[in-house]
Amino acid sequence: MSFGGPQWPQEPQQGGQQGYGQQPQGQQGYGRQQPGFGQQQGYGQQPQAFPGAQGAQGSQDPFPGAQGGGGTPDWGALADASASRNRRKRWMVIGGGALAALVVGAIVATAVVATGEKNDRAKNGGGPTGTVAPTASTTPEPTFSSVAPPPPPNPKDYISDPKKDKAPISAEGLFPGKKLTMNKRPYKKGATSATTDCAAVTQGGLGAVLKKNGCQKVLRATYVKDGVAITVGVAVFPSEAAALKAKTQATGGIAPLVGAGVGDFCHATVCLRRSNSVGRYAYFTQAGFANGKKVTKADKPVFQASDDLGTFAFNQIYARGRAQASAAAGAPGE
């Protein structure tokens, strides 16, 4: 029975502009390198009538277009070119400075985050790299023991060992009330009895079997339903092994218990006898017709009554073990 890194903006590509720093295709540039600009300029090209004009000192004129005797340089063009170059240089300086500022900012931000994480770990007891330690909780967290709790007591242990099976036992405690119901089938209770003279409440050879195996007490009760009477007897033994032997060796049967409105039955006739055991208890039933009619295999009500009372006896014995096991589990020091 079963209980039982960020993508930085790319620097704009510097494209050469026609007329600034490179010569137009197919034309010879007449100018010299201007100090500080680094690119050859093509301003003030000479008319074809004056190619390669030289100054009085035999060197090239420092100002293209001012030839031998009186041509003036294009000062406006020179000024515009110089301003343009200065603007480009300023934008390059500004762009480079912005890029450098972004890089420095990123480095500083990373350092700040890393320092913050380090401080948090130091403050909160550390934590895995790359994670933020949780803030301290004001509610204490529950703690659990690493020791597994002991298993609950087994009820069968308490109905098998007399050192544990110490609860009082009586007929009224084992067979309480005035009736019982099994699977919606009601049975009225008759008389009950209890005795330490086990053989005195048996028929046939059952008395000798009980005595030989150390029977200590027999408790009986009789129930009736629709003309069928059943006596159930529970015998108590000093051990589980002794009760098992009594069940195996059983012959004869428990004597019918009359009284409390139930007349004599199962005398000089055929009745149904059964035996079983659980723990240190053996239980027996004797069922028959109250009017003395012989029981046959076709008499299903008798067999049903015997099954119901045998199941009831088992349940009551096991309930006794369960009650004692529960009490032991709740007792201090257990």
Statement to judge: residues 214 and 258 lie in one domain: yes
Distance of alpha carbon 84 from alpha carbon 301, whole angstroms: 122
Statement to judge: residues 194 and 303 lie in one domain: yes
| 215: pLDDT strictly greater than 90 | yes
**Amino acid 217: pLDDT:** 97
| 165: pLDDT strictly greater than 90 | yes
Enumerate residues 6+ apart whose C-beta is below 8 A from 73: 44, 63, 64, 65, 66
User: In whole angstroms, how large is the CA radius of gyration of the chain?
Assistant: 58
Q: What's the pTM?
A: 0.56
Please report whether residue 266 resides in a domain: yes
| 167: pLDDT strictly greater than 60 | yes
Q: Given 131, 147, 173, which residue is the final one in a domain?
A: 131
Mean pLDDT calculated for residue range 215-229: 97
| 43: pLDDT strictly greater than 60 | no
**Amino acid 101: pLDDT:** 62
Statement to judge: residues 163 and 114 lie in one domain: no
**Amino acid 242: pLDDT:** 97
Statement to judge: residues 120 and 195 lie in one domain: no
Strand positions, DSSP E, 247-304: 253-254, 272-278, 281-289
133 or 300, greater pLDDT? 300
Statement to judge: residues 82 and 190 lie in one domain: no
**Amino acid 97: pLDDT:** 63
Q: Could you tell me the CA-to-CA distances from 10 to 6, 97, 99, 109 in Å, in that order?
A: 12, 13, 9, 21
Show the tokens assigned to 171: 């007929």
Statement to judge: residues 127 and 188 lie in one domain: no
Statement to judge: residues 182 and 126 lie in one domain: no
The pLDDT tens digits for 225-259 are: 999 999 999 999 999 999 999 999 999 999 999 99
Statement to judge: residues 172 and 277 lie in one domain: yes
Statement to judge: residues 127 and 163 lie in one domain: no
Statement to judge: residues 115 and 182 lie in one domain: no
Which range has the worst mean pLDDT, 106-110, 260-264, 276-280?
Answer: 106-110
| 66: pLDDT strictly greater than 90 | no
Domain that holds residue 79: 75-131
| 17: pLDDT strictly greater than 90 | no
Statement to judge: residues 124 and 236 lie in one domain: no
Please report whether residue 140 resides in a domain: no
What angle is formed at CA 278 by the lines to CA 173 and CA 184, rounded to 5 degrees? 60
CA 315 from chain centre, in angstroms, equals 36
Distance of alpha carbon 316 from alpha carbon 85, whole angstroms: 111
Statement to judge: residues 107 and 245 lie in one domain: no
Domains contained in the chain, number = 2
